Every structure is written in C-alpha cells, then in structure tokens.
C-alpha cells in the first residue's frame, strides 16, 4: 500500500515538473544578444556616420560567421555592425530621421549594433572602428581596435537579465562607448 502511494506521489510530482518545463515562457530574443556601439568625437554627443565597425581577431582580421557560429544572420560573412534605423507608423523603414518615428531597436538609439548568439565568447575578439568615408565625416578618424568583454553584450530576455543582475562586476546592456580622434 505504501508503495502505491509513493508511486502515485512520484507520478504527480514528475508530471507537474515536466508541465512547468514544457510551458516555459519564451522571449522573442531567446538565444540572441547584441553588441551596441556608441561612436562619437570627444565633447560631442552625435554618432559618427559612415564608419565600418567589425569584430576582428587578435591579428586584426575580420571574424567570419562560419556556419552561424557567432550570429544567427549573415552566415559565412564577416561580423559587421549596422546602424540602427527608424520605422514609421506602419513598421516600415523610414526614409527620413523624423522625431515622430521610433527606433527599430529602442535600446540602441542612433548607435551601431550587431546581433550575436548568447553563447558568444568574447575571448580573443576585438571591435575595430574604421573611417572608410572621410569626406562625409569632415576628415579621417583614426582606426581603433578595442577588446570585447562579456559585459558588452546586450542580453534582452528578462530571465537572462535577472541572472546577470545577481553577478558582481560590470553590468550588461550598456553601449560600448568609443571616442574617435581626427587624424592630423
């Protein structure tokens, strides 16, 4: 008789536990994080446009997203940051940068961003900022290469944010701030 009760208790506990796992709530950004870069001149707030920002290895070579191992998009292409953009009321990319339009990624404002997998390891990776169009910027800016750190990642799902909040050290979800200097 006792064995039947234990077996029944085990079945109830197991079915309750598996129901909680199956019905776990998911976030639209599960398995995805972002690097966000705010690039500006010293003393200025506006972002510098027309820059090439990429993830590079220790030799300064562009990192290739081989078989989507670093990002779910742009398979077998270099990891290149793109500028955020505004969308109109219908959700289409806005042609003009008007105040009435909203940013597609509100957390990234007018910054550059790159979608990466949550398992991205920053060890041995750097962000490289190049001014490839000096005419638009009023002059060439010096190229900079800076190391990436795990706290540079924007983790957008709340369960991951809660886990990060319990850790010590630098916090996630802050843009990488880079100040560029003009060449002499």
Examine residue 7 and state whether it is found in any structural domain, yes or no. Answer: no
Examine residue 107 and state whether it is found in any structural domain, yes or no. Answer: no
Whole-prediction pTM: 0.74
Taking every pair of Cα atoms in the chain, the longest distance, rounded to a whole number of angstroms, is 89
Counted domains in the chain: 1
pLDDT at 127: 97
Examine residue 125 and state whether it is found in any structural domain, yes or no. Answer: yes
Ordered per-residue pLDDT tens for the chain, 184 residues: 666 766 766 677 666 544 444 555 555 455 788 999 999 998 888 899 889 999 999 999 999 999 999 999 999 999 999 999 888 888 888 887 777 888 888 888 889 999 999 889 999 999 999 988 666 776 678 899 999 998 898 887 755 444 544 455 555 678 999 999 887 7
pLDDT at 97: 75
Euclidean distance between CA atoms 184 and 80, whole angstroms? 27
Domain, as residue range, for 169: 50-79+114-180
| Token pair recorded at residue 15 | 């079915």
Neighbours of 124 (CB within 10 A): 11
Examine residue 166 and state whether it is found in any structural domain, yes or no. Answer: yes
Closest CA to 55 of 30, 32, 82: 82
Examine residue 17 and state whether it is found in any structural domain, yes or no. Answer: no
Closest CA to 132 of 41, 63, 54, 45: 54
């Amino acid at each position: 008789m006792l064995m039947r009760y234990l077996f029944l208790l085990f079945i109830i506990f197991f079915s309750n536990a598996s129901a909680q796992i199956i019905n776990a709530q998911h976030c639209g950004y599960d398995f995805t994080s972002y690097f966000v870069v705010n690039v500006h001149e010293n003393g200025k707030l506006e972002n510098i446009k027309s820059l090439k920002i990429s993830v590079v290895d220790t030799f300064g070579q562009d990192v290739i997203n081989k078989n989507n191992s670093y990002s779910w998009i742009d398979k077998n292409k270099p990891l290149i940051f793109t500028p955020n953009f505004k969308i109109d009321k219908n959700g289409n990319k806005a042609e003009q940068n008007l105040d009435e339009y909203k940013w597609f990624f509100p957390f990234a404002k007018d910054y550059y961003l790159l979608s990466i997998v949550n398992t991205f390891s920053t060890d041995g990776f750097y962000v490289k900022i190049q001014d490839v169009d000096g005419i638009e910027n009023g002059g060439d800016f010096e190229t900079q290469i800076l190391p990436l750190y795990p706290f540079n990642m924007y983790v957008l799902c709340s369960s991951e944010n809660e886990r990060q909040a319990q850790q010590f050290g630098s916090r996630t979800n802050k843009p990488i701030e880079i100040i560029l200097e003009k060449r002499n």
